[in-house]
Structure 1
Amino acid sequence: MSEDVRLVAWVRGHVQGVGFRWFTRAKALEIGGLSGFALNLDDGRVQVVAEGNQKGCQKLLDWLRGGDTPGRVDGVTEIWDTPRGGYDGFMIR
């Protein structure tokens, strides 16, 4: 079953100024079928919002938590929700 979901993740660590948003967008495009954005927050975190099938969103979350990201990820907090739509592809904000 490929139910569409919304993933909102907040990534903590040294994740700004290292190309993190660019690589997150590239990974989302590589996974395919995801829309949303990556955004630098004022407190140093990066917020990632992805909508698409649950398997694709889980793959993106696993990548965010893995050791293959730029910079240094100290932790990821996520919530799952129903999609809201309105995104044109996966953007950097």
Structure 2
Amino acid sequence: MSSNRTRAHVLVSGTVQGVYYRATTRDTAREHGVSGWVKNLDDGRVEAVFEGSEEDVEAMVGWCHEGSSAAQVEDVEVEYGEPEGIEGFEIRR
């Protein structure tokens, strides 16, 4: 096991609700073997946490700039930190 694990806390703004952003984020995270969660915020943004290898987490952060095909991402804020040991990936409500 590599110890090069990281955590990214992401806030995505733009047209990112009602465009399958969360479901596509979940599917993409699972493809990359990344743990965490994603949810809609009341202000129209999407919040997500990704935990995994640096390479896979970076891939997810990069993906957030594109999002699902119907999404129009305007901005992505990212904070990195120590992983908390989340298992699996879920959509939170």
Taking structure 2 as the reference length, the TM-score comes to 0.89
Moved >4 Å (runs of 4+): none
Deviation at 1:70, TM superposition (A): 3.4
Inter-CA distance 29–68: structure 2 relative to 1 (3 Å threshold): same
- Residue identity in the other structure for 2:15: H
8 Å Cα contact 1:11-1:46 kept in structure 2 = yes
Equivalent position of 1:57 in the other structure: 57
Equivalent position of 2:89 in the other structure: 90
Uncovered stretches (5+) of structure 2, i.e. residues with no partner: none
Taking structure 1 as the reference length, the TM-score comes to 0.89
Equivalent position of 1:30 in the other structure: 31
Q: Distance in 2 between matches of 1:18 and 1:67?
A: 9
TM-align CA RMSD: 1.6
1:6-45 mapped onto 2 (5 Å cutoff): 6-32=7-33, 34-45=34-45
Uncovered stretches (5+) of structure 1, i.e. residues with no partner: none
Between the two proteins, the alignment pairs up a number of residues equal to 91
Q: Deviation digits for residues 13-61 of structure 1, max 9, x if unmatched?
A: 01011110000001101112x1100010111000010111110000001
Deviation at 1:68, TM superposition (A): 5.4
Q: Distance in 1 between matches of 2:35 and 2:75?
A: 23
Percentage identity across paired residues of the two chains: 40
